[in-house]
Amino acid sequence: MLSEAENEVLTRIGPGTPMGALMRRYWHPIAGISQMRDAWTKRISILGEDLVLFRDRSGKLGLIGEFCPHRRASLTYGIPTADGIRCPYHGWAFDGAGRCLEQPNEPDGSAFKDKVWTAGYPVQAFAGLVWAYLGPLPAPLIPALDGLVAPRAIRMCGVTRINCNWLQIQENSVDPVHTEWLHGKLAEFIGEKKGVKTALARHHQKIAFDEFPYGIIKRRLMEGQSEDASDWTTGHPIVFPNILAVSSGDSTFMYYMFQFRVPVDDTHTDHYW
């Protein structure tokens, strides 16, 4: 059982916190590529920071602080340029690294722009998602998880914001038995109240947990399953620090599901699947 102090350390993810520093050393999904096809900007909140994802005139994506350092106007309403974005209030231009490139209406020869910058982070399009890295450079590679790079794949993605810290959601993935009750018995009861009888719950005959180099393998054997079931032989990897991976199938068809718990702030999480 975690102490209150330990829980605080693990769930506080803003700039300057120990867990915030750790989480910034990983790539996180922040949007679907499809969301940026017809949009120039998208407001992004991640790891306690307010940012804006933008597409410049060449199609390159950038991720910088949302608020212009001049008068705090939101760059969500910015004007794309050939190599960045321009603040809608006074026209200051920034590139994807957060450097100020131009300050219209400053005197000729002014070097003030060289003293102005905002936060800027690497972004990369991969497997249908836009990923961001907020940590120290050089950035690592985005992990090429099997389902993300599977050939001839049909990919679908969803996201929802949950009013909960990232750790509590991730911890839920290491708890197999809740599915028997929350997703089984409770769902049956809800159906019963509506006059619909269903049989969803199956009893857990065995559960097991194994450490592996990237996290924890969660295994379960449900009532009626044989011990060669993939839920028991392969299990569900919980990949450190914030990913759940599930797969099943054969050489003809393989199904993968990944869940990413992306911290928005200390009490909200964007849940991608």
Mean pLDDT of 61-85: 97
Span 34-60, pLDDT tens digits: 999 999 999 999 999 999 999 999 999
Mean pLDDT of the chain: 94
User: Would you say residue 254 has pLDDT above 80?
Assistant: no
User: Which tokens sit at 91?
Assistant: 């026209």
Indicate the pLDDT class of residue 269, thresholds 50, 70 and 90: very high
Tell which residue, 60, 134, 151, 68, has the closest CA to residue 103.
68
243 vs 151, residue with greater confidence:
243
Locate all alpha helices (DSSP H) within 155-227, ordered by sequence: 166-173, 178-180, 186-193
| pLDDT of residue 142 exceeding 80 | yes
Flag whether pLDDT at 252 surpasses 80: no
The three-point CA angle 263-268-271 to 5° equals 60
Q: pLDDT exceeding 70 applies to what percent of the chain?
A: 100
Sheet holding 204-212, edge to edge: 159-162, 268-272, 254-265, 243-249, 236-239, 215-222, 204-212
165, pLDDT greater than 80:
yes
196 to each of 19, 181, 203, how far by Cα in Å? 45, 18, 21
Q: In sequence order, what are the residues at sequence separation of 6 or more whose Cβ sits closer than 8 angstroms to the Cβ of residue 43?
A: 50, 51, 52, 53, 66, 74, 76
* DSSP letters for 93-105: EE-TTSBEEE-TT
pLDDT at 183 over 80: yes
- Of 91-100, 130-139, 177-186, 241-250, the range with the lowest mean pLDDT is 241-250
Q: How confident is the model at residue 267 (pLDDT cuts 50, 70, 90)?
A: very high
Which residues sit opposite 256 in a β-bridge? Answer: 247
Q: How confident is the model at residue 246 (pLDDT cuts 50, 70, 90)?
A: confident
DSSP-derived 3-state class of residue 214: coil
For the chain, report the end-to-end CA distance as a whole number of angstroms.
28
pLDDT tier for residue 243 given thresholds of 50, 70 and 90? very high
pLDDT computed for residue 198 by the predictor: 87
Q: Which residue has tokens 């702030």? A: 265
pLDDT score, position 247: 81
Strands 120-121 and 61-65: antiparallel
Question: Which spans in 154-270 are helix H?
Answer: 166-173, 178-180, 186-193, 230-233
**Nearest 5°: phi and psi at 207?**
-135, 150
Q: Residues 199-228: what's their mean pLDDT? A: 93
What is the model's pLDDT at position 256?
85
How far, in Å, CA of 222 to CA of 201, rounded?
A: 10
Question: Would you call 195 helix, strand, or coil by DSSP?
Answer: coil
Instruction: Count other Cβ atoms within 10 Å, centred on residue 63.
Output: 27
Taken in order 219, 224, 228, 229, is the CA torsion positive or negative?
negative
